[in-house]
Amino acid sequence: MLRAPAVAGQFYPAGGKALAAMVAELIPEIPPAEKRDALAVVSPHAGYIYSGSVAGQTFSGVNIPEDVIILGPNHHGLGVPLALMSEGAWEMPMGNVPLNPDLAGLILKHSADIEVDDSAHRFEHSLEVQVPFLQALQPKLKISPIVVSHVPFDICHAVGLALAEAIKEFGKPVLMVASTDMTHYESRRSATIKDHLALARITSLDPQGLYETVIGRGITMCGIMPTTIVLTAAIALGADKAELAHYTDSGETSGDLDQVVGYAGLIIS
């Protein structure tokens, strides 16, 4: 299957050259010696004019391997709760990106909760907007995309452990990307306070605390499930550090500080 882009021309430029130029501007130049190997990153998924600088700063700090698992929230309600695309490619303005059927097979082998379902991916933007940044930094990119609906913590935990086992068996470097925006449509003051409660749980490597804080405090972090899963997997793979690369909100671009959306980038290693 060749998946067509859902939000080209909306969240980012539809033309390959224009998109490549915009992404190049959003990714700071960092010497290779200063980049680090990472198990996972957390990256936002708004329009590039709002959150692209956070994504670019986050991805620029890590070495991007050829194989990347991207998990994002389900904004449209289509498909199964944990939907994996396993074969084919994604058509993107900067060139098609193949899926990795070998890694997908291992994910399915280790997780009874994840199912193959292309329908959940058809209109979903949260994974798609991560791809041009990854393409720009890794020309041999292959992806394993998973759309995640609202699931309880025990499922997030089990899926995270399963991803870790799949990556171990795969035997090659794999980066996990959790796609999420933070608080939606509150004042900058309120959003900043709430978001840093959640970010503190991530930097403390506490996936259950993250899940319970976001749900219990009513924090409108749309990618809480993908982030919980990825954090669990990274810990199972030996992560001992999670660092905030950048935090901002939509008010930096719009000037509206009464109704902002928060954006955070984190590196887990």
**What value does the CA radius of gyration of the chain take, rounded to a whole number of Å?**
17
pLDDT at 254 over 90: yes
Mean pLDDT of 109-123: 97
Q: Is there a domain that residue 14 lies in?
A: no
Average pLDDT, the chain: 97
Query: What digits encode the pLDDT tens for the residues 135-159?
Result: 999 999 999 999 999 999 999 999 9
Confidence of residue 115 (pLDDT cuts 50, 70, 90): very high
Question: Taken in order 49, 175, 117, 4, is the CA torsion positive or negative?
Answer: positive
Q: Is there a domain that residue 12 lies in?
A: no
Q: Is there a domain that residue 8 lies in?
A: no
Query: What digits encode the pLDDT tens for the residues 41-79?
Result: 999 999 999 999 999 999 999 999 999 999 999 999 999
pLDDT at 176 over 90: yes
Instruction: Count up the domains in the chain and report the number.
Output: 1
- Widest CA span of the chain, in angstroms? 48
Q: What is the DSSP string of 22-52?
A: HHHHHS----GGG-B--SEEEE--S-HHHHH
pTM confidence score: 0.97
Q: Is there a domain that residue 133 lies in?
A: yes
Q: Is there a domain that residue 163 lies in?
A: yes
* pLDDT at site 152: 98
Q: How many H helices and E strands in the chain?
A: 9, 12
Q: Is there a domain that residue 122 lies in?
A: yes
Q: Is there a domain that residue 15 lies in?
A: no
CA distance 161 to 219: 25
CA 140 to chain centre: 19
Mean pLDDT of 13-42: 96
Domain span at residue 263 reads: 21-268
Which conformational region is residue 42 in: left (phi greater than 0), alpha (psi within -120 to 50 degrees), or beta? beta
With a pLDDT cut of 70, the percent of the chain lying above it is 100
* pLDDT at site 1: 83
Q: Is there a domain that residue 72 lies in?
A: yes
* pLDDT at site 215: 97
Q: How is residue 5 annotated by DSSP?
A: P
List the CATH number of the domain containing 193. 3.40.830.10
Mean pLDDT of 254-264: 97
Confidence of residue 21 (pLDDT cuts 50, 70, 90): very high
Mean pLDDT of 90-115: 98
Instruction: Look at residues 227, 217, 225 and name the one whose alpha carbon lies nearest to residue 264.
Output: 227
Mean pLDDT of 191-212: 98
